[in-house]
Structure 1
Amino acid sequence: MSPRIPRAGATRLATVTALVAAGLAVTAAGATGSSGRDDTPRPLARTADSDATQIVMVKAPTVDRRNEVIALGLDVTEHADQRGIEVVLHDAQDAQTLRDAGFTWKVKVKDLEALTKKNREVDRLYAASVAESGLPSGRTSYRTYDDYLSDLDQLARRYPSLTRPLTLANETVLGEDIRGIEVSVGADDVKDGKPVFLLMGAHHAREWPSAEHTIEFAFDLLQSYSSGDDRARDLLSRSRVILVPVVNVDGFQISRGATPRGDFSTFDYEMKRKNCAISANTPAPSATVPDYLSGTCADNRAGRLRGTDLNRNYPGFWGGGGASTNWSSDTYRGDSPGSEPESDAVRRLISERAVTVMISNHTYSNLVLRPPAIAATGLAIDEPQLKALGDAMAAENDYVSQASYQLYDTSGSTEDWSYWITGGLGYTFEIGDEGFHPAYEEAVVGEYLGQAPAESAGLGGNREAYWLATEAAADEALHSVITGTAPDKHTVSVSKTVTSPTSPVIQPGGAVGDPLLFTDTLRTDYTSDGGRFELDVNPSTRPLVMGRSGRDALAPPQAAITLDNPVGVPARRASEFTTFDVQGLPQVDNGYMVVTVDWPAVDPEAQDWDFFLTGPDGEPVGSGATLANPEVIRIPDPQPGTYTLEANNYEGGSADFDWSGAVTFEGPTPPSPTGTREAWLLTCTDRRGDVVATREIVVDRGESVAVGNACKRVKE
């Protein structure tokens, strides 16, 4: 489906269309860099159309439309659904940008500062009235970074045989350690061959609940094991859980320690999202350009806009849509793939461990997201497994389970690199439905436990979702196993070095260049105590090269339908409605439904109809609201039932320029495996570190391969 072309002047049309095609996010007005584009962050004021900063839900019922909103360079909250996407309107200029692009919106938060102030008061009253919450830790308020360090140290002291303190390989931009904790029976033996569940929080600094949920699960695991819980004892004997509550340490300390303002303005450091890197693309100071290079990360002329979005910096598909080329954007992708020490530290951790399931916690949208994060990538070959686990977790927290691209394209995300390159199942949780760190009682206590006032009240909450992820990490049907024997104090390793492409890289001016290449070295070690071993690993073949998912048709597609056009023509900007029925199995198997509508026209702006499609459940499923003629709405795997098509006479519809249309159906896309298979290099080294044997091992997901004596010496 074509994205809507804004109804504006020719220059504006060309600019926005180019941005949409490139998937860029830009910042308005100011000095320009050598590329000719604007490189200066516009100071964000405190007033929108009203006298307060607002959060609005922009009507954008398709992925294309939501990508177009992102391309406008506004402050997008990342809260989106099938109706649209939420945006922070700081001032009248933001609102006018939306209008010029042809968007309408509904105000969700009339006064953001007032809401933030209210939440702070709610938090104060809750902490004062409750001595201890139902959380495993008993916390009643958001932690500071020092609280996280204290809790990590406390857990390590209290449960020494079940924990191993963890410091990631890289320090942050400002020289801080990135701390975490490993939980398992015999936790100190990191070369025990167990599969790993990795849970992380605070890639984005202002998303405080993401870190709270992560550390609460550490308390949960350890308390459950110590109390004799059978599930905890079984899973921690067979698997390892690694928890990193705060990935973006620098940004989090600034956000958590900032003086509250709550208006999302340039110097509202509480709302800082990115890390503290100073981009090489930052313009140098001049007579017309302020000095954005000096000052501290917590006090500088660019304010909270300094830094890189860590969740747009991972090498997998880096440089594509849904990330900005502008250094001052909240979604700035970084100067190069994997350029940031924080994202590289996570990448190194995953590369050195058998992370079979990974969850990166974020806020907010009540979502469980899975790869792919870019629509053009195509569905993962493991889509059935990814979806099944995502759906199971979403049933516990009452979130929506879907592929990430179904919201909008997001290049350079954590789970996209992790899944496509290592084969570990990867997810993003968007916790809660209101704000980046709303009232603690709901966003942390309720969402984690599955209690009111969270929408998951009566279910298992995120606590149970994380337990399901731990079970999945230990499930041999969802990863691969290598078994054999090895002498005492010999190390059996599997490793491979692979080179992969990024996305075609969107350039600052909007042109699309060639992909870049990046190299990953993956390795998992097991140290033998003599005798039989079991080494849990991810499949030897990367999902990136395995092919794409699909399904074989179980019946023919449905016959075409001619749409009924109601008698008469609605007035300008008014609508009329028609319905049609979609069948399902066993009679038909519809892989795609295509609604095509056209009308006689002399001038595409003088005669224009817009169309909006609603599904059997009353939810929007697609739209055709551009200047294109015909308008085309394409829906994958349409659910059986009655659909309603709204025809809006946007401009010039009359008896002479009335619409007509049809619905056609296509079968499902069949699977497209490539047949390419990659191997692990299995190596055995003796206690001196000398290599005594090597061989290649090909092992698929759900497969176990027996290698016999892995250390049998290679014949001369």
Structure 2
Amino acid sequence: MWGSNCPTTPSSDPPGVVPLHRSSRRQFLRTAGLAAGALGVGFAGPASALGALDSAGTDRAALLAGEPLRMARVWLTRETAHLADGLDDTHRSFGDGSYEFLLWPGDLGRLVQTGLRFEITVDDVVARDRARTESSAVRTVGLQPGETETGEYRRLDDYNADMAALAADNPGLVKLIELPYKSLEERTVYGLEICTDVDRNDGRPVFYNDGVHHAREWPAGEVPIMWAHDLVESYRADEAGEADAAQKRIANLVRKVRNVIVPIVNVDGFHFSREFPVEAGTHQVGVSIPVLGGNSATAAGNGFGQYWRKNRRQLTDGGIAREQNAPDGLTAYGVDPNRNYSYQWGGSGSSNSETSGTYRGEAPFSEPESRNVQWIHQTYQCLTEITHHTSGDLVLWAWGDTAADAPDDVLLARLGIASTFYNGYQPTKSIDLYVTTGTCSDYTYGTWASISYTFEHAGDSFHPGYGTTVPAMYAKNREALTLLAEVVCLEPIDRGLLRDEVAANGGLRDALQGDFSRVIEGRQYEYSTSQVVDLDARYHCVLSGRMVDSDGNPVAGTVQMEKDFQNFLWFLGGGQNPIDTSHWPEAGLWSIDVEDDGTFRWYVNPSSRPAYFDDPTFNAEEQYQVSFRTGGGPSAGQSKVVASRDVVLRRGQTIDFGDIVVG
């Protein structure tokens, strides 16, 4: 029995614990990262780098009428990277110092003015993608879970209908969740929970997937919704004794893991992009085509709206939408939700320009899209997660703002590399693509210690033809998703099916446990056989115990865990950032119910943020405040705290509180 409020700290690192350590090189490497391999789409530079087409007051909107959307390959060096500030990157790099950019009307002239070496690789992106969609290329895989019957990308209403149907058709297995923040255009954002006995508020590990932070990245929503279908179909097949090996592994996750899925984060932007007419002269019912000054006719008829990236926030007084990077003087619209998170907000790799595709917003979490994802992590202990994007066929992990290794670098890198055994993507730290700050995956890892990845899908296009892309894309990623959840979420004893998979596949075994040495994006990645993913180790934390009365009988109650802290913003260069404050408030409040026999077992993240080691205001490991309550959950307002304690948890550690006596 206990009830004191003194910290509990581990006396030694248990087997499988990854020791925490300070990264003394982090600040240096953040600077070096800006100067080395990550040449900074969004690299800080003079605002005049991409100047006007002329200086004679010409009507630029009229001048640009009829200019197509192009794709360009641009060569950059450390000294010239800032000249690309403001161009729209596609996440593709070619390993020779060149990067791919989407050129909006006016950008070609601006690019010429910079003097950078470039090559136009696609003369008309809209026409190329239309041709791909209409092509009769033969599909390479069989029918996949959750494929659309139409053979076309889902629209927003399709996603909502799919989620509602999955919940209605599978009571006890699938639950529809409504996220708390409506979009700027008053749309509700929905998600799913999928696991056995889904309505029970227990402590099972959580695996989180989301998609479509960026409006034009349509395949990024298809992966999580197809994963939802796959979870249900695999579980049903296994229950019927008809599951294959891959389905058995997925069904195991339905029983052991709570799967949380939000297919469309940026609902307004996606709706705008997906519903925009593709061909000149078309107009779909219910679609509002924006008026864009002298450029309006072209913008409405050429399908540019499909390539909208940001959300739909109005930023100036005109109240009318516009293309990103459109000529000056047109109404500015949109914040990039994936530059709006608090971790390192305000730094290089995001923009303070409202016309930039990476405009970060006026403050962290100014946008409902990022606030909804924040709420997920303040409500669920998400042990691992993937945020899905396009394009480029990449698996990315921390960090995006520095070349320093994350405290969990071996785990992050090994799992990222192992996932490419299935999907064939290129694995790399985020910064080796380019510098980013305020992003989702760095926020969820750096703030909440969730093992986090960004998957960039779909090859060389934001939304290539559905039939020739999405089924094959999902087929090669479903086992990558499975692998990540198995390693981070499951107990070692529950990884039997994964052990069989590793034993049967030497390439997978080498990725997890063998010597690895490869140059990727100009950086040497090297991991020895002493730096492995151990299938007998635990990569999460566990709290357990039992609530009883003085006679030892079980007592109904809840276990609550909370943490309040200050997340630090970008501080390169003496602690400065655009809003002149060093930190941003964060708080998590999590709660589970004890079982009928009074016991609980709760799978949680480490208590200390991985990023805290870089924060000069902290000099000790961070703690959770754990409390035990009777009389209903914390939201009921009538719960009674019967015991509490502050605990420090390191990755891999378990704490058994024993009997908590309610007297």
Aligned length: 532
The structure with more helix, counted as a fraction of residues = 2
Q: Is the 8 A contact 1:496 1:680 kept in 2?
A: yes
Please name the residue that 2:367 is paired with.
340
Quick check: 1:97 aligned with 2:135? no
Shift of residue 162, structure 1, vs aligned partner: 0.9
Q: Counterpart amino acid of 1:482?
A: L
* Cα deviation, residue 67, structure 1: 4.7
Offset, 1:329: 1.4
SS at match of 1:676: coil
2:346 and 2:577 in contact (8 A); partners too: no
In the alignment, the residues of structure 1 paired with residue 161 and residue 588 of structure 2 have an alpha-carbon distance, to the nearest angstrom, of 32
The match for 2:389 among 357, 362, 365 is 362
Which SS does the other structure have where 1:478 is aligned?
coil
Aligned counterparts of 1:217 and 1:65: Cα–Cα separation in 2: 43
| Equivalent residue number for residue 523 of structure 1 | 589
Q: Does 1:699 align with 2:643?
A: no
The residue identity in structure 2 corresponding to 1:76 is D
Looking at structure 1, the residues matched to 258 and 62 of structure 2 have their Cα atoms a distance apart, in angstroms, of 46
Q: Residues 314, 118 of structure 1: CA spacing in aligned structure 2 closer, same or farther, 3 A cutoff?
A: same
2:456 equivalent in structure 1:
430
Equivalent position SS for 1:685? strand
1:622 maps to none
Cα deviation code 1:504-563 (max 9, x no counterpart): 3899xx997744421111232120123321111000111112469xxxxxxxxxxxxxxx
1:187–1:145 Cα change, 3 Å? same
Cα separation, 2, equivalents of 1:179 and 1:706: 36
Indicate the residue corresponding to 2:551 in structure 1.
none
Partner of 1:56: 72
Alpha-carbon distance between aligned partners in 2 of 1:76 and 1:685, rounded to the nearest angstrom = 50
CA distance in 2, matches of 1:294, 1:186: 47
Pick aligned residue for 1:391 from 401, 417, 430: 417
Q: Does 1:203 align with 2:203?
A: no
Range moving further from structure 2, 467-476 or 313-322: 467-476
1:136 aligns with 2:154: no
Question: Retained in 2: the 8 A contact 1:184–1:241?
Answer: yes
Match of 1:455 in 2: none
- Picking from 270, 273, 289, the partner of 1:252 is 270
Structure with bigger RCO (C-alpha 8 Å, 6+ apart): 2
Q: Secondary structure at the match of 2:477?
A: helix
Partner residue in 2 for 1:404? 430
Aligned mate of 1:443, from 456, 461, 469: 469
The aligned residue for residue 414 of structure 1 is: 440
Contact kept in structure 2, 1:266 and 1:303, CA below 8 Å: no
CA contact (8 A) 2:231 2:251 kept: no
2:180 to 169, 184, 188: 169
Q: Does 1:680 align with 2:630?
A: no
- The match for 1:325 is 352
> Post-superposition shift, 1:146?
1.1
| CA 20–372 in structure 1, closer or farther in 2 if over 3 Å, else same | closer
Contact 2:562 2:588 in 1 (8 A): yes
SS at match of 1:523: strand
User: Match for 1:380 among 406, 425, 431?
Assistant: 406
1:596-629: CA deviation from partner (whole Å, max 9, x where unpaired): xxxxxxxxxxxxxxxxxxxxxxxxxxxxxxxxxx
Amino acid across the alignment from 2:82: E
Cα distance in 2 between the residues matched to 1:346 and 1:44? 41
Q: 2-side partners of 1:22 and 1:492: how far apart? A: 50
Match of 2:126 in 1: 113
Alignment of 1:276 with 2:312, yes or no, is yes
Provide closer, same or farther for how the CA distance between residues 481 and 152 of structure 1 changes in structure 2, counting only shifts above 3 A: same
Partner of 2:12: none
RMSD across aligned positions (CA): 3.6
Pair 1:266–1:195, CA change in 2 (3 A): farther
The CA distance in 2 between the partners of 1:41 and 1:695, in whole Å, is 64
Alignment correspondent of 1:188 = 199
The TM-score with structure 1 as length reference comes to 0.68
Structure 1 match to 2:232: 222
Residue 146 of structure 1 corresponds to 157
**What is the Cα deviation at residue 437 of structure 1?**
0.3
1:531–1:430 Cα change, 3 Å:
same
Per-residue CA deviations over 1:205-231 (Å, capped at 9, x if unaligned) read 110000011100101111000001432
Alpha carbons of structure 1 residues 413 and 3: separation in structure 2 relative to 1, 3 Å: closer
Q: Which has the larger radius of gyration?
A: 1
Whole-Å separation in 2 of the counterparts to 1:44 and 1:185: 60
When normalised by structure 2's length, the TM-score is 0.73
Q: Aligned equivalents of 1:323 and 1:523: distance in 2?
A: 30
**Distance in 2, Cα, partners of 1:87 & 1:298:** 15
Q: Which residue number in structure 1 is paired with residue 636 of structure 2? A: none
Residues in 2 aligned to 1:680 and 1:297: alpha-carbon distance in whole angstroms: 46
The residue number in structure 1 matching 2:606 is 539
In the alignment, structure 2 segments of 5+ residues that lack a partner are: 1-31, 281-294, 492-537, 548-553, 633-638
Aligned-partner SS, 1:226: helix
CA shift in 2, pair 1:390/1:273, >3 Å:
same
Distance of 1:314 and 1:225 partners within structure 2: 35
Q: C-alpha distance in 2, partners of 1:161/1:254?
A: 34
Query: Compared with structure 1, are the counterparts of its residues 96 and 272 closer, same or farther at alpha carbon in structure 2 (3 Å cutoff)?
Result: closer
Q: 1:173 touches 1:341 (CA, 8 Å); kept in 2?
A: yes
The reply to whether residue 243 of structure 1 matches residue 268 of structure 2 is no
Contact 2:607 2:624 in 1 (8 A): yes
Hey, what does 2:29 align to over in structure 1? none
> Counterpart of 1:655?
none
Contact persistence 1:67–1:408 (CA under 8 A): no
* Equivalent position of 1:616 in the other structure: none
Partner secondary structure for residue 227 of structure 1:
helix
Which consecutive unaligned segments of at least 5 residues does structure 1 have?
A: 5-15, 33-39, 283-291, 450-460, 549-671
Deviations 1:365-414 (A, max 9, x none): 110010101126x3211111111111111221111111101111111100
Q: Indicate conservation of the 8 Å contact 2:563/2:588, yes or no.
A: yes
Checking the alignment, whether the CA contact within 8 Å between 2:321 and 2:333 is kept in structure 1 is no
- In 2, Cα distance between equivalents of 1:511 and 1:704: 38
Shift in CA distance, 21/349, structure 1 to aligned 2, threshold 3 Å: closer
Q: Is the 8 A contact 2:608 2:650 kept in 1?
A: yes
CA distance in 1, matches of 2:340, 2:62: 25
Q: Match for 1:390: what amino acid?
A: G
Taking the aligned partners of 1:303 and 1:513, their CA distance within structure 2 comes to 26
Query: What is the distance in 2 between the residues matched to 1:506 and 1:28?
Result: 27
Pick which of 135-144 and 358-367 moved more. 135-144
How far does the alpha carbon of each residue in 1:196-249 deviate from its partner, in whole angstroms, 9 at most, with x for none?
Answer: 111111111110000011100101111000001432332222211111111111
CA 1:217–1:512 in structure 2 vs 1: closer, same or farther (change >3 Å)? closer
Supply the distance in 2 between the matched residues of 1:143 and 1:478 (Cα, whole angstroms).
Answer: 36
Q: Displacement of 1:80 after TM fit? A: 2.5
SS at structure 2 position matched to 1:176: coil
Q: 1:47 to 1:293 in 2, by over 3 A?
A: closer
C-alpha distance in structure 1 between counterparts of 2:143 and 2:80, whole Å? 38
Q: How does 1:658-669 map to 2 (within 5 A)?
A: none
The answer to whether residue 254 in structure 2 is matched with residue 232 in structure 1 is no
Shift of 1:311: 0.3
Letter in structure 1 aligned against 2:233: Q
1:681–1:697 Cα contact (<8 Å) kept: yes
Counterpart in 2 of 1:499? 566
Counterpart contact for 1:485–1:533, Cα < 8 Å: yes
**SS of structure 2 residue aligned to 1:278:** coil
Contact 2:606 2:651 in 1 (8 A): yes
